[in-house]
Every structure is written in structure tokens, then in C-alpha cells.
Amino acid sequence: MHSYLQALCREIDQIKSEISMGPDIAHRHGQQEIAALKYLSATLAERLAQLEWALANADIQTTEAPVEEAVSNAEDEALAPQSEEIDTQKMPLADATTPPSENQINAASLSERLQRQPIADLRRAFGLNERFFYTNELFDGDGEEFGRAINEFNHLANFEDAQKLVAAKYSDRYHWSEEDENVQRFLAIVERRYL
């Protein structure tokens, strides 16, 4: 549950940073990015409701367990059949998660569709935080090189050409690895340029 809370905190921070941009957020981001923020906000609210429900049910489960008083009558103990002791530590616990609802499945498919929306201009696809992040993580802090790379990607005809550019110019120079999660996320955004 700790990792679940950390994920919620990261999403809250992302929404806060986007909202803190003020009223000109619509000018900096296209309608697709705003729709994605709305979806993220709705998903966050749903997850918080699920977390509250899980915490409330955990309290109910702990308070519903009746506490039986020990019978000190030796006669009752003698008459009761001896039962095997059960090692409760070895018994599996039921999974605390509930199966996803139809709304969650539809929301997930909406999220996937939003992530597959084409990007007309990569310069507008990266928010301020993402620019700093990718500049520091993938371009060794060189903001000008990040900008040049985005311009080059914008002018290529297809994603195959973009992959060739990455292999020829950026992989060796900045030690990009195909297994690196940051590289994968960056290239996923670049790929949307060619959809």
C-alpha cells in the first residue's frame, strides 16, 4: 500500500505543478493535454475514494471480530473435544484489491487513447518540468541541445528516421540505453509526433 500512496503523491504533485501555471495553461498546452490533465484528476479522485474505502473497511474488519471471553469452567473444558491447532501464519490472506470496474476499464482505455493522440509540434508537447527533467536526464543538462533535438525530430518524416537519428547522434554521445525508462518515455512522446 506504501507504493500506492507514493504513486498518488506523485500524481498530486504533477497536477499541482500543471495547475500552478495559472490561467494561461490553455495557451501553453493544447486541448489534448488539458483533457489528459482532467482525466488524471478524475483518476486521482477515484483512487483516493478507493483508498478511503479500503481504510474504512480495514477498520470495520478489525472492529467486527468478536472477542470471546475465556471460559474458566474446568468442566466445560473437559467436555469440549480437542481440536487441532491451526497455524494461522501459514494461511494465505485474501487479496485486498477488488476487480476493476467497467468505469476503470473504460478510463484505462481512454488513457491509452489519449496517450496515442498525435502531437503536431514536439516543442509544445513538453511542459516546463518535463523539459528540465529530460534535459538533465538525457542531454546532460544541455538545454540548447534538447531544443535542437526537438527541432530535428519535428522535421523528420517518420519514427524510423527518428530512431536512426537517435542511434546516430544521441545514443553514443549521451549514453542512452534502450532499456532506460527515461529514454523509453521520451521516445514514446517523440513517436506520437509521427502518428
Q: Which residue type, as a one-letter code, is found at position 141?
A: G
Residues of the chain with confidence (pLDDT) below 50: 67, 69-72
End-to-end CA distance of the chain: 37
Give the residue carrying C-alpha cell 501553453: 28
C-alpha cell at 164: 536512426
Each residue of 29-39: pLDDT tens digit? Answer: 567 677 677 77
Burial class (CB in 10 A: 0-12, 13-18, 19+), 176: buried
What's the DSSP call for residue 194?
A: T
CB 165 within 8 A of CB 153: yes
Whole-model pTM? 0.44
Per-residue model confidence (pLDDT) at position 27: 58
Each residue of 64-87: pLDDT tens digit? Answer: 555 454 444 555 555 555 555 555
Per-residue model confidence (pLDDT) at position 40: 74
CB 149 within 8 A of CB 189: no
Indicate left, alpha or beta for 75 from its phi (over 0: left) and psi (-120 to 50: alpha): alpha
